[in-house]
A and B are shown apart, each in its own frame.
Chain A
Amino acid sequence: MIKLSINGLLVEVPEETTILEAAKKLNFRIPTLCNHDDLCVAGNCRVCVVEQLGGKALFAACGTPVAEGMQILTNSLKVRTARKHVIELLLSEHNADCTKCYKNGQCELQNLANEFSVGDHIFLDLLAHKEYTIDRFSPSIQKDDSKCIRCQRCVRTCQELQGVNALSVAYKGMHQKISTFFDHSMAEVICTNCGQCINRCPTGALVERTYLDEVWDAILDPDKHVIVQTAPAVRVGLGEDLGLSPGERVTGKMVAALKRLGFNSVLDTDFTADLTIVEEGNELLSRLKKAIVDKDENTALPMTTSCSPGWVKFIEHTFPEFLPNVSTCKSPQQMFGALAKTYYARAKDIDPKKIVTVSIMPCTAKKYEADRPEMRSSGYKDVDYVLTTRELARMVRQAGIDFSQMKEDHFDRLMGASSGAGVIFGATGGVMEAALRTAYEIVTGREVPFTDLNIMPVRGFDGIKQASVKIENCLDEWKFLEGVELKCAVAHGLSNARELMRAVKNGDLNVHFIEIMACPGGCLGGGGQPIPTNQKIREERAAAIYEEDMSMPIRKSHENPEILQLYEEFLGEPLGHKSHELLHTHYKERERY
């Protein structure tokens, strides 16, 4: 243990603790910009500088470990002057036209400027002499260099957390900027649109491409029938942006708010999550059958999930040799879109031309996914607009809805029912768990052998998780699986995904089924979720997801009555002709930069 004093108060902390953390223990908050709980220390913004009594230079509190007998001042004259200067300097190269900024009111730099009441700028406006462009080419992410403060959170996110390396630092000195491969637009590079950079950007330099106006226009157009679907993770995150605490489940309030906003049908992506499980579970079993019974060497195993569009684009760029391994199932969002303009339109007797489908996603990559040319199997664009959880919160605020006072409401019928298995799609390991609940039962006629159907080995936040289930006493049809140890692996965050796929490639990992979610923690930690994010917040959202699962009367996808109805009235059977037409697709190889 190390003893030191901070502003005259003694504190004892373990070795390796930073001054920043030690100060927190004494309830002193030292302002930070480049520091982020999820990332390695950078120490480059210098806003967290503190003084060591008798020392010459100031230290960055975020990057300096404590030492015995240190006497630290966090608010001395030297510190205050330096800190104010740093904020002034950042503002002098920052486009501080705050009222025109998407992040107005949610900007960390703005907050600091406010705290230090930086009114008249001392320094010269450097931006006036600089050229910059706003990159609006990506359907998911908008990058505005004039608002960038070079804290490199996005770079560290893209490189360390996601292992994607779409963003990096380019040039030096006054020309230094955060850039992409040869300054190409975000739409043309290896970017997976995961949006994790947005979640960590302290300013408005990286924000989602917003489609709020388009959605309002559709809602307010009397000729349109606007259907909204909400992803599983939205209901455990939305509250955070509307004044509630992390981990509060707001499913019923959210539905009520969506109805008040004027959506004509409020439906659930969880419904198509259940559908995905039935299709994907059957796909896995059919691949296993082809490989084991038919000895077909061309059957690609392990099969990987395809729900996460960030992951899909990542594999297209990085591991194209594994594209045959990706499940042909579309993601729940896209299955929903395809069915909304066919099955739902027919059942409700609405002209599909007049239907506008909007999805609320915890994700920015979903915006890209909806725009993919593969996603038009209904004859129209299957999903017209994708909004993030944050955008929905903004809509609720715009409409003046007092969210916390909403009476809980229920999803509309036909594509609004779901099981607990659909809900847990929102957490890492959830798709695997939901698939196992269904596949095991198809094969054996019995429930998975885990207490309360909770398959604990695939839950939690370990980067890569592995589990296996021994299949015994199969039904006659599946006798070829008798005694097989069904092995699976789960990864979340693309760095972990890369590690897992490398292990598969090298032959170090032999499994049948792999679930990969592009974002840390799965969709609940998605790039469209409320800001800030950190491990604790993600854990609280995960706990809420599993609570929601336990609260559901139906916990297995194949028992969802509306799914059964869908097959009976429309699709016929899993992996049938209609399914292939509407619910399955293939992906393509992309360049590696």
Chain B
Amino acid sequence: MKNIPVKRVDLIFEKIVCKEIFKKIISMDPERIIQSVIDSGLKGRGGAGFPTGLKWQFAANEKGDEKYIVCNADEGEPGTFKDRQILDEVPEKVFCGMAIASKAIGAKYGFIYLRGEYYFLVSKLEKKMDEFHLLMKEMGHDFRILLRLGSGAYICGEESALFESIEGKRGEPRNKPPYPTASGLFNKPTCINNVETLVYTVMILKYGASHFMHLGTKDSRGSKVFSVSGDTPKAGIYELELGMSVDEFVEEFGDGDTKAVQVGGAAGFCVPRKRFADTVIGFEGVPTGGSMKLFNSSRSMYNVMHNYLDFFAEESCGQCTPCRVGCQQLLKGIEAVKKGERSSKYLDELVKLATTMKLASKCGLGQSVGNAFSSIVENFKEEIIY
């Protein structure tokens, strides 16, 4: 299989006149809008990768006229900083994406749930929202966006915890089913999309589904904004076509001494050097919400993992047993092995525990702690033990 080399794309940050696009869209049938998004093959850019068009379809099929669009701007995955840039540079495109979604599913209200630490964006967003609301009025489209701020909890990026938070409750994930498209915010059908996903829907409707579909691979259509950080001379935000291998990525961004890349943040996977060539960045390989962290040989992978586990032990909502206690056990467990209080065999017990956390946790947070843990233990066992 031939991988796609690192290729820059300029869709997300391309300056466009939203009014013109919206003029085109307002006359379209909801079905046609949804079909375009389905045809494009766009998958959610927050990390989980649910097909966006399908999500819209589900929400559109729900009865009732009280539905919501929610923009998930609670960007909290360690090593991700792209949504902040998008909201700073092209907020009107995010609003436009929400308006398109509202047209597609029949919603009158949208919420932006903004990460609490991005408070500095608020005044700018509010100003742009006022302009946007005037545009909506002019276009005769009944849609209003409300801004809500988080308070710093990572878990509130989980969709159902995010709803709870907007509703004024403690941000704890709900049981699923029901899924948000059936019963989401205020228990109404809700379509929740990541900031980047919403902007892509605008570009898909501007240039057509096929333009997007021709980028990327069969499983990972289009392009994606990456937040590159760690041991790299080129830290920053890059929009790249999907489908490249980690090898190609490292070639472009590495410092010549890269030993591992953490793809997808703390909840993602660690790819060691020996796997660079045969690992594709995308849904067929390692998916990512954008975080790409490079580590060179000066880094201790024990420290890297300790850092991630510390983060999870702190940021688990604490509701379900596997996640709350499991995170603490993994953290204390590697400490005990490092100090020699437990034998290296104990790591095998911890890997089994990580599997249970993946299988039995209530939400995506607990389910993904095992990703980083297992992939680091598997590939850097000696660094953990000695």
Contacts and interface: CB of A to CB of B under 8 A. Distances in A.
Given A173-B318, A176-B317, A81 B325 contact: no
Nearest to B335: A124
Contacts of A320: none
Contacts of B319: 44, 150, 152, 169, 176
Interface string A23-45: 00000000000000000010111
B258 to A, nearest CB: 31
Contacts of A90: 321, 325
A116 B349 CA distance: 18
A148 to B, nearest CB: 11
A9 interface: no
B327 interface: yes
Q: Which of A65, A90, A172 is packed against the most chain B CB atoms within 10 Å?
A: A172
Given A82-B359, A82-B360, A174 B321 contact: no
A415 interface: no
A60 interface: yes
Classify the secondary structure of A's interface with B: loop
Interface string B158-192: 00000000000010100101000000000000000
Contacts of B325: 89-90, 92-93, 126
Interface string B349-367: 1001101101111100001
B349 to A, nearest CB: 6
A173 B316 contact: yes
A330 interface: no
A46 B317 contact: no
B326 interface: yes
Q: Which of B312, B353, B359 is packed against the most chain A CB atoms within 10 Å?
A: B359
Interface string A73-114: 000001001100110011011000000000000000000000
A81 B324 contact: no
A123 interface: yes
A57 to B, nearest CB: 6
A150 B324 contact: yes
B35 interface: no
Contact of A172 (B153, B336, B361): B153
A163 interface: no
Contacts of B360: 46, 49, 57-58, 82, 85-86
Contact of A92 (B155, B329, B342): B329
A114 B21 CA distance: 65
A123 B349 CA distance: 9
Contact of A174 (B313, B320, B353): B313
Contacts of A85: 322, 326, 352-353, 356, 360
A471 to B, nearest CB: 47
Contacts of A122: 349
A63 to B, nearest CB: 4
Given A124-B336, A174-B313, A78 B329 contact: no
B332 interface: yes
A89 B321 contact: yes
Contacts, number: 119
Contacts of A81: 352, 355-356
Contacts of A43: 175, 320, 362
Contact of B359 (A57, A129, A168, A175): A57
Interface range on chain A (Cβ under 8 Å from partner): 35 or more
Contacts of B316: 172-174, 176
Nearest to B331: A174
A89 B326 contact: yes
Interface in B338-355: 342, 349, 352-353, 355
A481 interface: no
B356 A41 contact: no
B318 A89 contact: no
Contacts of A273: none
A64 B175 contact: yes
B315 interface: yes
B375 interface: no
Contacts of A158: none
A122 B155 CA distance: 28
A182 interface: no
A87 to B, nearest CB: 9
Contacts of B126: none
Contact of A124 (B315, B322, B324, B332): B332
A326 interface: no
B321 A47 contact: yes
B321 A65 contact: no
Contacts of A86: 321-322, 356, 360
A93 to B, nearest CB: 5
B320 A176 contact: no
A82 B317 CA distance: 20
A173 B155 CA distance: 10
B76 interface: no
Given A89-B329, A150-B324, A172-B314, 7 more contacts: A44-B319, A58-B360, A123-B333, A124-B332, A168-B170, A173-B317, A176-B318
11 contacts: A43-B320, A45-B320, A47-B321, A49-B359, A81-B356, A86-B356, A150-B321, A169-B172, A169-B319, A173-B316, A176-B317
Q: Which 4 pairs across A and B sit closest by C-beta, in order of nearness?
A: A176-B318, A89-B325, A63-B175, A85-B356
